[in-house]
Amino acid sequence: MQLNDAIFLNASVICAIFINFVLILLILKKSPASLGAYKYLMMYINIFELTYAILYFAEKPIMLTKESAFLIIMNWRASIFPKYVACTLNLLFIGFFGMSVAILALHFIYRYLSITKSNLLKTFDSSKIVPWFMIPLLNGITFMCTAGFLMRADEQTDRFINENYPPLVKNLSTINDLYYVGPLFWPKYANSTTDHFFSWKAARLCLIAMGLIGFSTSIMVFFGLKAYLVMKNLMSQSTSCDKFKSIQQQLLLALILQTSIPVLLMHISATAIYLTIFLGNSNEIIGETIGLTIALYPALNPIPTILIVKNYRTVLINILAYVKRRVFRQTAVTPLVLADVTTIAMQNLAPN
């Protein structure tokens, strides 16, 4: 990993931790009553993104995409954790991607139930919400198990990584230092340097992964379109509560923006990877790109909610306005000013 990439990744993760922590405080302290049980789902999502950012900061896996291979590599000897912990974190990283896919689908289901005031909305109240929360967890576990069993290293992938992973090619490391998982669609025959054969193991893996991604995407599209049509009809009804229409419109807009971020940064990239490795013409740039975009995901995803939900936006504007007044009064921000900013921030985050 180049120095500039490492700096970018660390900066993105630090921003993600800070932004998600701020949004969690806003959800706890400044959520409008009309949010109802939705704030529990928002908390779930932001705790997930906060944990995801911390995990990525602790263990930054290398993604090698070349020809027909997509390998997620971790050098456990260079890790601050024991080998079994470092290897588990590599699998968790894959599991968190699976969770993110299912969380988006769950998000759309809730928004539709909320807008239509369905009786099923009661299943999101208090402890009844736990089964819903289990769905992303199960999806993540499926991705982890698929990686751990179907994507584990074998003779063909060992040969490929020895021939193509730069630290091994340059003798800067050994294959025994690495833990990696991933599909290799067209490995070479054992006694050949040019002839390839099709790997059905990789095909089974991709069918499972793309099947789960496709199923979640179908749910998103189905409930997203239904929610949009209901909202469009709701906006035309003068009898509907203005406050209810306003908050639902804000949340639907936030959801659309929040969906576009992971779809653009993660899902399209992942689909491109699976397509190019199946065709046998992937290259290192794709893996490097998705490594950077995945780091951006937890940093950018909370921003639409903060900016679109009026209560949260008001707190942010108040804090920024106070900072602006103080900065224009003084040429430098002194420790006293920083203390004042902290005070005004806590006042804005205090319960109504």
Ranges of H-type helices in 117-154: 130-150
Contact 302, 53 (CB under 8 A): no
pLDDT at site 14: 86
**pLDDT at residue 185 greater than cutoff 90:** yes
pLDDT at site 186: 93
Distance (Å, whole) CA 327 – CA 295 = 32
Q: Which two tokens stand for residue 39?
A: 């704030």
pLDDT at site 107: 84
Say which DSSP state 193 is in: S
Question: Model confidence over 227-239: pLDDT tens digits?
Answer: 878 877 776 665 5
pLDDT at site 45: 87
Global confidence as pTM: 0.79
Q: Which two tokens stand for residue 103?
A: 């969380």
**pLDDT at residue 330 greater than cutoff 70:** no
Question: Model confidence over 255-307: pLDDT tens digits?
Answer: 677 678 877 887 788 888 888 998 888 888 888 888 788 878 888 888 888 88
Could you tell me the pLDDT band of residue 241, with boundaries at 50, 70 and 90? low
pLDDT at site 248: 65
Could you tell me the pLDDT band of residue 343, with boundaries at 50, 70 and 90? low
CATH topology of domain 3-308: Rhopdopsin 7-helix transmembrane proteins (1.20.1070)
pLDDT at site 284: 86
What value does the mean pLDDT take over residues 2-14?
A: 72
Burial of 111 (0-12, 13-18, 19+ CB in 10 A): buried
Domain boundaries, the chain: 3-308, 310-352
Distance (Å, whole) CA 293 – CA 5 = 11
Could you tell me the pLDDT band of residue 333, with boundaries at 50, 70 and 90? very low
What value does the mean pLDDT take over residues 201-227?
A: 86
**pLDDT at residue 310 greater than cutoff 90:** no
Distance (Å, whole) CA 274 – CA 288 = 15
pLDDT at site 245: 65
Residue 337, amino acid: V
Question: 208-212, long-range: CB within 8 Å, 24+ apart, which pairs?
Answer: 208/142, 208/146, 208/150, 209/143, 209/146, 209/274, 210/271, 210/274, 212/98, 212/101, 212/102, 212/139, 212/142, 212/143
